[in-house]
């Protein structure tokens, strides 16, 4: 199972999230795609995230903020640490949602406008 994890600013629009998603997906082999998208629980309820899930026809997953800090990420954002206690919300959300033993498929990528990040993780959770 591959999960696309997202971090994004409150002012991010669907174009920002789609851009980050497209940049992350570009690293996947053709025909391979995420099965769900994830972010921190409170942001998973935001209309922009729900709209992205609907447009991509992917299951949205909200990850409890406390679980984010438990994840080992490959990048570090001081803003993310201050706001969420995780060094990368996108990477931590992807890892947590993909389940125990999940691994990142690469570091997070940033949308062109800097409003959203996306990271992909693969796990055995079905």
pLDDT in tens, 35-65: 999 999 999 999 999 999 999 999 999 999 8
Domain ranges of the chain: 2-122
**pTM across the whole model:** 0.92
pLDDT tens for each residue of 5-18: 999 999 999 999 99
CATH architecture of the domain with range 2-122: 2-Layer Sandwich (3.30)
Q: What is the C-alpha to C-alpha distance for residues 126 and 33, in angstroms, rounded to an integer?
A: 14
Q: Is the dihedral of CA 123, 77, 110, 114 positive or negative?
A: positive
7: which 2 tokens? 């971090």
């Amino acid at each position: 199972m591959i999960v696309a994890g997202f971090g994004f600013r409150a002012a991010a629009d669907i174009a920002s999230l789609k851009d980050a998603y497209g940049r992350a997906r570009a690293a996947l082999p053709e025909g391979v795609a995420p099965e769900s998208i994830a972010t921190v629980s409170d942001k998973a309820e935001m209309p922009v995230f729900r709209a992205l899930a609907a447009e991509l026809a992917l299951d949205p997953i909200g990850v409890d903020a406390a679980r984010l800090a438990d994840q080992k990420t490959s990048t570090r954002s001081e803003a993310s640490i201050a706001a969420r206690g995780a060094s990368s919300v996108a990477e931590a959300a992807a890892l947590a949602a993909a389940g125990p033993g999940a691994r990142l498929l690469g570091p997070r990528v940033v949308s062109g406008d800097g409003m959203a990040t996306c990271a992909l993780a693969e796990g055995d959770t079905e």
